[in-house]
Amino acid sequence: MVAFGKKLKERQLQEWEGYYIDYKLMKKKVKQYAQHIKNGTLDKRQVLKDFSRMLDIQIEKIVLFLLEQQGLLAGRLAKLGEQHNSPDQQSDIATICQLREAYREVGLDLLKLLYFVEINAIGLRKILKKFDKRFGYSFTDYYVKTRANHPYSQLQQVFKHVGIGAVVGAITRNLGDLQERQGSYASIYDQPAFPLQDPVIDSIKSAVDRLGYSTNFLHFMAQHALIMQEEILPSPVEEQIDDKRYNYMSLILNLANTFLYMINTYIIVPTADDYSMSLGAAATVCGIVIGAMAIAQVFSSVYFSAWSNRSYFRPLVFSSIVLFVGNVMYAMAYDFNSIWILLIGRIFCGLGSARAVNRRYISDCVPLKIRMQASAGFVSASALGMACGPALAGLLQTNFKLFNWTFNQDTLPGWIMAVAWLLYLVWLWIAFKEPAHEDDHVEQQSTTETKQSDVMERGVKQPLLLTSEQNGGNSEEKVQLLIYFMLKYAMEILLSESSVVTTYYFSWSTSSVSIFLACLGLTVLPVNIIVGSYISNMFQERQILLASEIMVCIGIVLSFNLIIPYTVPQYVCSGLIMFVSAEVLEGVNLSLLSRVMSSRLSRGTYNGGLLSTEAGTLARVVADGTITLIGLLGQSTLLNLTLLPSLFICIGCIVATCYTYNSLY
């Protein structure tokens, strides 16, 4: 907090010094409240009332000054508009140049006002979170609900920057009108495909982007990636550094790596049991075959995250080579008749998991103004890869030999992915541009400053609902990680044993299993659209979290084979309920986790993205190991016995959520 207060002071304009939030005073007050409560001179109700009044006064001071400055800017724009529309001066080149410069000056002053709004918004969030942490009370939620939804809300002015959009539009339109476009007088509204190229407008748009991203859905999707957003206000120089490090094709290559890796993970699921049996192993050994990749990923995530501190290109090259070798070994195991070569091939595939690099590139190299879109792209690429993997496996129904190597439904996934990674390696070598890395001193200084900032929520609708570190944030962080472990465990049980279960109960073919798994994967994006755009606006995140956990539990219960004969509708419906509920749960869980997770995990090797990857990967390892171990008892008991741990963990998560929720309120 000391670093933030110092940064806040440095970024303030001297002429507006008296109108910023008095962060130092409020931090001092929080300490005094704690002392008074300890001494018994004040009770909690008096503290809440006094602190609320102080916040109201601070916000009113900010808002009145904001409105005053907006009025001054509007007045200047009105005078410039009169000159601009004067018939005597429309063809005067000198006057047009003067008007352009005058509009740019207004734009620069607007930019100062945007920075003023942003730094005050960050200060308010910080002091609210500090209050919640100190007193173990969810004051933030109370304050936002009672103030932001009131018809005379002043919070709306600060956090939705009401009225600023009109000023931005006026400057943009008039500068566009004054810009020479080959003699054309078409306005920006007539040609939206040709954006106005002006440094002032670009800076304003960048500042507006930081105040609020375009849609709730985009924000909701991006949080699936757990790529943390920094809260310290960047300077224009820092933004220029980000732009220099960013390369569009390099970002596409990172997303392509994510897409191919997810295909590689799930393309073997429909045929893993058949492949295991063809090599003389039991069908349930498919759990180890599928899970071998996850076991290796537990270790690869760490060294790839550390490697990405120095380079992005070399880890991606290494990843592609290792995945190529692993898939070739996976395919060749059939002709060598060796289950060990099969397992080693899958381990190699896990050792090539570069998802930590993909996350780090987005977090470190993508400019802030498009980082949310890039994060959402990361999630979308993962979802599409998950759906395409089983679908592609269903198309590989053939059997022939070439140069004494067998190509059938078991080996073709390995051959296909080996070729895909080889082509990707060539594309990577040609098109990837290694971003410039900062020297150790700058990097260390940047890391030190970053550690002082917490994760912020960038949504437009709920800008203050940041309950990080409430009531001992570490406990809530542990609960969210437990929930993430549970949902990944339940999903892995459903997906990995689907081929064995459906073959045993329904005699499904590989194509049928592939279609079922592909349909499950295709629900990811539509579900997130519904939750991110609609449900998240109607209910609180913790309400959605608890409801989703209950639905996952219901899906697990319905999946058991108990008294009545097991049918396809029961399996499909229960699986769909479990999978879709887990997807909703994952989105909300990561949204909350990104806010309760410690700020020290925003960057560096052991960052929040790595932690979530390790938790999810560990869940998959345990789930796949459970399938193989219980499979030793026979396929008839596999379904029920693998669902029991899922049920117990899910019930435990529901209890932990209710306990944490009650302690917060």
Do 204 and 295 share a domain, yes or no?
no
Does 547 fall in a domain?
yes
Do 128 and 14 share a domain, yes or no?
yes
pLDDT of residue 397: 82
Do 599 and 516 share a domain, yes or no?
yes
Residue recorded with tokens 């499904």: 508
Does 152 fall in a domain?
yes
pLDDT band at 236 (very low <50, low <70, confident <90, very high): very low
pLDDT of residue 43: 77
CATH code, domain with 425? 1.20.1250.20
Averaged confidence pLDDT in the chain: 76
Q: How far apart are CA 596 and CA 473, in angstroms?
A: 6
What string of DSSP letters covers 571-604? HHHHHHHHHHHHHHHHHHHHHHHHHHS-GGGSSS
Do 95 and 211 share a domain, yes or no?
yes
Do 203 and 339 share a domain, yes or no?
no
In one-letter notation, the amino acid at residue 81 is G
Averaged pLDDT for residues 200-208: 68
Higher-pLDDT residue of 161 and 472 is: 161
Q: How far apart are CA 345 and CA 290, in angstroms?
A: 11
Averaged pLDDT for residues 176-194: 50
pLDDT band at 215 (very low <50, low <70, confident <90, very high): very low
| 635-664 helix and 541-559 helix, angle to the nearest 10 degrees | 160
Do 371 and 275 share a domain, yes or no?
yes
What share of the chain has pLDDT > 90, as a percent? Answer: 16
Do 166 and 112 share a domain, yes or no?
yes
Averaged pLDDT for residues 553-569: 90
Averaged pLDDT for residues 339-363: 88
Residue recorded with tokens 């959605």: 544
Task: List, in order, residues 6 or more apart from 418 with CB less than 8 Å away.
Answer: 324, 327, 328, 331
Given a cut of 70, whether residue 586 has pLDDT beyond it is yes
pLDDT of residue 5: 62
Q: Are 389 and 267 in contact (CB under 8 A)?
A: yes
pLDDT of residue 295: 84
- 3-class SS letters over 176-206: HHHCCECCECCCCCCCCCCCCCCHHHHHHHH
Do 284 and 207 share a domain, yes or no?
no
Averaged pLDDT for residues 12-31: 82
Q: How far apart are CA 378 and CA 299, in angstroms?
A: 21
* Helix, strand, or coil (residue 406): strand
Residue 173, Cβ neighbours under 10 Å: how many? 15
pLDDT band at 445 (very low <50, low <70, confident <90, very high): very low
For 590-616, the pLDDT digits (tens) are: 767 766 665 555 555 555 556 767 777
What is the Cα 269 distance to its own chain's centre? 26
10 Å CB burial of residue 81 (0-12, 13-18, 19+) is: middle
* Helix, strand, or coil (residue 405): strand
Higher-pLDDT residue of 591 and 578 is: 578
Which domain covers residue 42, as residue numbers?
3-181+198-215
For 498-539, the pLDDT digits (tens) are: 888 898 899 888 888 888 888 888 887 788 777 766 776 677
Q: Which of 84-88, 232-236, 486-490, 564-568 has the lowest mean pLDDT?
A: 232-236
Given a cut of 50, whether residue 439 has pLDDT beyond it is no
10 Å CB burial of residue 17 (0-12, 13-18, 19+) is: exposed
Instruction: Pull the structure tokens for residue 309.
Output: 């501190």
Instruction: Pull the structure tokens for residue 140.
Output: 């933030």
pLDDT of residue 213: 44
In one-letter notation, the amino acid at residue 368 is L
Q: Which of 207-216, 368-377, 400-409 has the lowest mean pLDDT?
A: 207-216
CA of 556: how far to CAs of 2, 442, 486, 551, 651, in Å? 48, 51, 12, 9, 11
Given a cut of 60, whether residue 433 has pLDDT beyond it is yes
Does 546 fall in a domain?
yes
Does 483 fall in a domain?
yes
Q: How far apart are CA 161 and CA 155, in angstroms?
A: 9
Q: How far apart are CA 475 and CA 478, in angstroms?
A: 5
Averaged pLDDT for residues 656-664: 73
pTM for the model: 0.64
Averaged pLDDT for residues 425-429: 95
Higher-pLDDT residue of 603 and 114 is: 114
pLDDT of residue 153: 65
User: Which has the closest alpha carbon to 201: 233, 181, 171?
Assistant: 171
Does 463 fall in a domain?
no
Q: How far apart are CA 330 and CA 341, in angstroms?
A: 7
Given a cut of 60, whether residue 484 has pLDDT beyond it is yes
Do 254 and 139 share a domain, yes or no?
no
Task: Give me the count of residues in the chain.
Answer: 665
Does 449 fall in a domain?
no
* Helix, strand, or coil (residue 331): helix
Q: How far apart are CA 452 and CA 469, in angstroms?
A: 14
DSSP state of 539: S
Given a cut of 80, whether residue 160 has pLDDT beyond it is no
pLDDT band at 560 (very low <50, low <70, confident <90, very high): very high
User: Which has the closest alpha carbon to 211: 158, 166, 171, 173?
Assistant: 158
H helix runs in 463-567, sequence order: 473-496, 498-506, 510-522, 524-530, 536-538, 541-559
Q: Which helix (H) or strand (E) holds 4?
A: helix 2-11
406 DSSP β-pair partners: 401
Q: How far apart are CA 102 and CA 104, in angstroms?
A: 5
Q: Please measure the distance between the N-terminal and C-terminal CA atoms of the chain and give it in whole angstroms.
A: 25
Does 101 fall in a domain?
yes
pLDDT of residue 221: 56
C-alpha dihedral sign at 317, 376, 610, 578 = negative
Task: List, in order, residues 6 or more apart from 51 with CB less than 8 Å away.
Answer: 29, 30, 33, 131, 139
Q: Which of 21-25, 138-142, 299-303 has the lowest mean pLDDT?
A: 138-142
pLDDT of residue 290: 85
Q: Which of 113-127, 153-167, 228-242 has the lowest mean pLDDT?
A: 228-242
What is the Cα 509 distance to its own chain's centre? 36
pLDDT of residue 1: 43
Q: Which helix (H) or strand (E) holds 446?
A: helix 440-450
Does 16 fall in a domain?
yes
Q: How far apart are CA 547 and CA 409, in angstroms?
A: 40
| 568-596 helix and 498-506 helix, angle to the nearest 10 degrees | 160
Averaged pLDDT for residues 344-355: 90
Do 276 and 397 share a domain, yes or no?
yes
Averaged pLDDT for residues 387-407: 86
Q: How far apart are CA 264 and CA 653, in angstroms?
A: 31
- Mean pLDDT is highest, among 144-153, 227-236, 401-410, 530-539, for 401-410
Do 210 and 252 share a domain, yes or no?
no
Q: How far apart are CA 199 and CA 614, in angstroms?
A: 42
Do 278 and 202 share a domain, yes or no?
no
Averaged pLDDT for residues 51-58: 86
Given a cut of 70, whether residue 180 has pLDDT beyond it is no
What share of the chain has pLDDT > 70, as a percent? Answer: 71
Q: How far apart are CA 487 and CA 224, in angstroms?
A: 13
For 534-548, the pLDDT digits (tens) are: 776 677 777 888 898
Total tally of structural domains belonging to the chain: 2
Higher-pLDDT residue of 10 and 385 is: 385
Averaged pLDDT for residues 326-351: 92
pLDDT band at 241 (very low <50, low <70, confident <90, very high): very low
Instruction: Pull the structure tokens for residue 261.
Output: 């890796």
